[in-house]
Amino acid sequence: MSGIKTFSNETSERYASALFELASENSEIEDVEQNIILLLKTLNNNVDFKNFLKNPTNKLEIQSKVFSEISKVMGLKKTLSNFLQLIINKRRIYFLDKILEKFIKLSSTKKGKIDALLVSSKELSQDERKKINEEISNSIKSNVDFTYKIDKNLVSGIKIQVGSLLIDTSVSNRLKRIKQSMIEN
């Protein structure tokens, strides 16, 4: 992600930090994190729910009732349930997905985990992914949590992105560099 601070990014970070502090004070970080993962999964898999969140014409009372029911049905912790009501009243429910994602990242960072992206040209076995994870974790002396994707356009090789560091061993990248050097000469 870019380092540009937008209103939605700043707002989401502030609310995620506030929720993290509340969960920490109540010794509920793990429970709230599990609730958030479940809520995010529901949000990402349900177009109607996402549309409901993003619709600015919904009345506060309706949003409040819907989230009260969601909290009961999903068994959300009171800390998270109250937080959801707060962001509804502050008219920030529109940013819910970003806030929850930032909470997960903040929690991972506090646990010493670093998010990374592993992209390969073909399916890698569990052992291959585990070995790559161990090597990267050992080299940067921190636990790395990889998101794994396959990109057929890579031709061959892998790309690993850890923060702003990009390691690209793909044939596509080598060909691109050769082409660029030929153009420059």
How confident is the model at residue 152, as a pLDDT? 79
Measured in Å, how far apart are the chain's first and last C-alpha atoms?
33
How confident is the model at residue 159, as a pLDDT? 83
The token duo for 134 is: 């161990």
Specify the pTM: 0.62
Report the chain's mean pLDDT, rounded to a whole number.
85
How confident is the model at residue 185, as a pLDDT? 66
In this prediction, the residues of the chain whose per-residue pLDDT falls under 70 are: 1-5, 163-164, 185
Q: Which DSSP helix (H) or strand (E) runs through 118?
A: strand 113-120
pLDDT single digits (tens) 96-132 = 999 999 998 888 777 777 778 888 888 888 898 888 8
User: What separation in angstroms does the CA of 85 have from each of 17, 19, 63, 104?
Assistant: 16, 12, 9, 19
Q: Report d(CA 143, CA 77) in Å as an integer.
A: 28
Domain boundaries, the chain: 7-109, 112-184
Q: Report d(CA 15, CA 96) in Å as an integer.
A: 9
Class of domain 7-109 (CATH, top level): mainly alpha
The token duo for 162 is: 């850890």
Using DSSP, state whether 179 is helix, strand or coil: helix
pLDDT single digits (tens) 40-51 = 999 889 899 889
Q: What's at 181, amino acid-wise?
A: S
